[in-house]
Amino acid sequence: MPPALPSALAVHKLCVSFGNTPLLDDISFELPPGGRLALLGESGSGKSMTARAALGLLPSHATVSGAIAINAIDVTSTTALSRPLDARPAMVMQDTLAALNPLATIGYQLEGALRHQKLKAKARRDQAATLLTQVGFHEPKQILKRCSAELSGGQRQRVCIAMALACQAPVIIADEPTSALDVVTQAQILRLLHDVSAAPSGPALLFITHDLHAATHLCQEALILDAGRVVERGPMQHLVTSPQHPHTQRLIESARVCGIACERLYA
Ligand SMILES: Nc1ncnc2c1ncn2[C@@H]1O[C@H](COP(=O)(O)OP(=O)(O)OP(=O)(O)O)[C@@H](O)[C@H]1O
């Protein structure tokens, strides 16, 4: 049997506090290469803080214990920019206008993300266009010339996913990537995130969301957070059809009140 690949992202007994305030308490999970894990929980439960720890973006006054490894490289106490390239997750955020530089063309930004590949200028331009095709643009050369304000929200999110792919990151952390989009565009972006992570050697995906329905479509597994702790974990189907913890039960029930019967997806 070939040796098992290291986890794309491994978090072990992570605790984070700001001063005397504990924000994350004993968080552990592993994300295999190409795996898709949802982080679910109510507002303030610690989803984004977990992402910030994995990205190396906690403020310097944070007290951190436990361990974080990316591609088996220990990054627990290294900031984002001091990490080697193969231990830096890429980030896809909800606010695509803030994520992209409004004053630079998409081509300029995408080629910047390809810088580390040391390609010649023409090859870099071609690669930028190829990435845009990969995320669903039919006229990539036109998009390369535009600025972010000249694109729709869904188009900007595709560009952000292309930027994440350009970084060849082992993990994409997607924090509410579809919340600002209409339902048709949401479905397209979820499908795209699925396809990029399911591709051979595709990145693992940590999907942060309130949206149980989106998580059931996209992810194989989920962690449910409450007040900075993991209250339940397991295969998505199991959590949705047979939630054990009262907090998970409340999440499923709340989704049902909003007309979303996730368990039907598994019927
Ligand atoms: N800069 C900060 N300083 C102090 N406390 C913070 C800071 N940022 C977040 N927190 C606290 O950390 C906890 C977790 O916040 P976090 O942003 O991770 O929640 P979340 O689950 O991502 O919520 P949401 O779904 O609303 O984005 C909350 O209690 C929040 O008030």
- Reported as type and span, the H/E element at residue 218 is helix 212-218
pLDDT in tens, the chain (267 residues): 555 668 999 999 999 999 999 999 999 999 999 999 999 998 899 999 999 999 999 999 999 999 999 999 999 989 988 999 889 999 998 889 999 999 999 999 999 999 888 889 899 999 999 999 988 899 999 999 999 999 999 999 999 999 998 988 999 999 988 887 888 888 888 988 999 899 888 899 999 998 888 899 899 999 999 999 999 999 998 998 899 999 898 888 887 777 666 666 666
Are the C-beta atoms of residues 105 and 146 closer than 8 Å to each other? Answer: yes
Per-residue pLDDT, 212: 85
Q: What does each C-alpha distance from 162 to 4, 136, 254 come to in angstroms?
A: 28, 10, 34
3-state secondary structure of 235: strand
DSSP classification of residue 3: P
- 234 CA to centre of ligand 1 in angstroms: 24
- 97 CA to centre of ligand 1 in angstroms: 22
> Could you tell which of 16, 23, 211 is best to mutate to test the pocket of ligand 1, judged by most ligand atoms within 8 Å of the CB?
23
Retrieve residue 180's tokens: 């600002």
- Tokens 């968080």: give the residue: 27
Helix axes 106-113, 121-134, angle to 10 degrees: 100
Per-residue pLDDT, 262: 62
42: phi > 0 → left, psi -120 to 50 → alpha, else beta; which? Answer: beta
Per-residue pLDDT, 255: 77
Are the C-beta atoms of residues 114 and 98 closer than 8 Å to each other? Answer: no
Per-residue pLDDT, 189: 87
Per-residue pLDDT, 265: 60
| Cα–Cα dist 249/163, whole Å | 37
- The number of the ligand 1 atom at minimal distance from the alpha carbon of 49 is 18
- 105 CA to centre of ligand 1 in angstroms: 33
| Cα–Cα dist 149/103, whole Å | 9
| Cα–Cα dist 63/110, whole Å | 35
Per-residue pLDDT, 3: 55
Phi, psi of 264 (to 5 degrees): -65, -25
Q: Which residues line ligand 1 (CB under 6 A)?
A: 18, 23, 41, 43-49, 210
